[in-house]
Structure 1
Amino acid sequence: MDYHVKDLALADEGLRLVEWAERDMPVLKLIKERFSREKPLKGIKIGACLHITTETANLARTLKEGGAEVFLCASNPLSTKDEVASALVKHFEIPVFAIRGEDRDTYYAHIKAVLDKEPHLTIDDGADLVSTLHRERPGQADRILGGTEETTTGVIRLRALAKDGLLKYPIIAVNDALTKHLFDNRYGTGQSTVDGILRATNRLLAGSVFVVSGFGWCGKGLAMRARGMGARVVVTEVDPLKALEAVMEGYLVMPMEKAVEIGDFFVTVTGCKGVIRKEHFLKMKDGAIVANSGHFDVEIDLKGLSEITTSVRNIRREVEEYTLVNGKRIYVLSQGRLVNLASAEGHPSAVMDMSFANQALCVEYLIKNQGNLSRDVYSVPAEIDKEIARLKLISMGIEIDTLTPEQERYLSSWEEGT
């Protein structure tokens, strides 16, 4: 089997971690059991560019149980769990091309190794797989049946591709499912980002000023968790509606140029580039801690930071100290990459259970509807979203009401009024 991982000797440890995660992924487990019986993905090759975590391993296992051949590469150089990658290769015979800390050339070589397998479907997290395919292998892209996208940044890129008329196959924006962004983005990012910051720094959040840049679903979750830890939370935004929402939630809202003067912790979750720039670093307090939980490492302008730096040293695992020309010291976590995955373990399994259940069912949907979808970015079908929510409630032992026939008639009629 063709693969490229760090060390197969790590596989047994990885297997234990994968099994531990599966215990908290009941929805995906139910889907895997059905897939094992029905084999709806039989004969399909799937190329996936995802964070190689214990939860991703269970998605890959589910797809394989459905009859698919699955090939995995990393969607971020610092998010790979080497023991998990090894376990997938050794114990589940799923080819993986990913090594934690791989350089840019290796990262893209791994993406191309997956594309070399001629997949019928793609699963992406950030759209690097799809963009590489469209940029370098347009002929191959024409033969793809469909794909899914996991995260906000990737959906933005793919919608831009579709808007330009260049998208060559249908993509389902799994990120936009209610059972994904309401839970994964909010509760997952909120908890895992705080977890990553604490593991990296061992600093106290209570009483600090914690600046959250971006008040989308990820920002909402992070602000909520930071406030719950006792921090005074400041929000920076460019969208007036989101800024107003943050105000109504009780957060301080101000431009970044003002926030940098008072912040102790800064976290970007915008999906945009250059959010914290050279002029901002110069105004920060000595000892400010800067991290990113957006998908790519472009939100913090590290190039601009280096231009005003006299020295850099690694002071803790995943913590680099930048001494600026004005004598202040700024601490950047995880090289500006996803702090929740680079410094911690990413989202809890219970959250990824719903996200990856969406992935599995959307892959099945694409196969069933091949030829019926145009070259565009689609929302997750409502019936899939509701089914995942229903299964999650069942797994939690929670029952809900159902409409009576009279209520159904009332909701479908225009005749009854006051």
Structure 2
Amino acid sequence: MSRSEELKTRRTAAVASGVGTRGIYAERAENAELWDVDGKRYIDLAAGIAVNNTGHRHPKVMAAVAKQADAFTHTCFHVAPYESYVSLAERLNKSTPGDFDKKTMLVTTGAEAVENAVKMARAFTGRSGVIAFSGAFHGRTLMGMALCGKVQPYKKAFGAMPPEVYHAAFPNSYHGITPEMSLAQLDQLFKSTIDPERVAAIILEPVQGEGGFNIAPAEFLRGLREVCDTYGIILIADEVQAGMARTGKLFAMEHAGVAADLVTMAKGLAGGFPLSAVTGRSEVVDAAPTGGIGGTYAGNPLAVAAAHAVLDVIVEEDLCARAEEVGNALRERLDALAARQGLEAIGDVRGLGAMVAFELVTDRATRTPDAALTQAIVAEAEARGLIILPCGTHGNVVRLLPPLTIPMAQVDEALDILEASIEAAVGQTRAAA
């Protein structure tokens, strides 16, 4: 029995079955490469789900954490605050879109950031309604689940969701949902379901992650900004997956030139260490009563040190430009594959920067989702030494999230493996038909 098989057996016996896992048991990793406990090498195009934008164990990040560990690892910011938290807040205030006074709070996970953003919006407006979108993913907490626009597996079996959370359709050009249609549905929601003057916040991902890497068009974001300004609603941009240079800008909202009132971030913020943040208009952030937001581990010093290093690396290594370079290479190869006879199952290729995906369908005319082929491609790639992830409301999208520091030679190698994996999975599907 291999070590991986042994660990799988132990995991089945000891770990909650609701915690989904893959069959790769990691032993070590470096930049865009990962080796499992049996010594097998993988190219990692998942990056811990967009966490390791600066790669596994970036030397500058590791050095910053080691230096902080020599000083102290935890005091709780509520008990004995420290300068690094304050200076990180100052950096994020300057870095997020919007020419207005801002403040920041630090927490630990993306879901916590979302929860606190909603709390701030409710405290500031005195309202309780929140609107999210189809295909959204905002975390696994109770409010996060309610905001999610995907039932399986995030809401299934967990009972009633918090009240006054509503959903509108997210634009999706591939499936015929235009920005105008989405905004019209939002207007209808105001007419038929909830008074806009009872809505505290509208929250969205500028590029949906779990929903299938659907990109919010600039005109849609501008329309939302206008709606929020008209009714005094707080606009929350969930940049947890799309932020930190992933799309070719530090924040994805920058592509549209639209500033949200609150921005949530996590994942790539601290290069593999647990840290998240809410940054936004000072008056909104400050609406929460003293002691009403925070947490024991919120803004952990080690993670804060890592975040400072990540922000330095993004600038010093021009990772926004690297995201464009890597993303262009991914899309060029995928477009070429989609144009090949016999690979009509690739219905759509899309992405922003190095946040790239392709959607699998059984028929290009009907655009019927093909979740089975998607899973087959992911499994085939894993067997060949490539880590990729499925996503999408129907589970028929493959997402590619390479570290932005990945060498271009490894991008080419990964694409060769991906191409072979797609060909093999399509061939198997045909043989079984």
* TM-score between both structures, scaled by the size of structure 1: 0.31
Structure with higher RCO (Cα < 8 A, 6+ apart): 2
Which one has the bigger helix percentage? 1
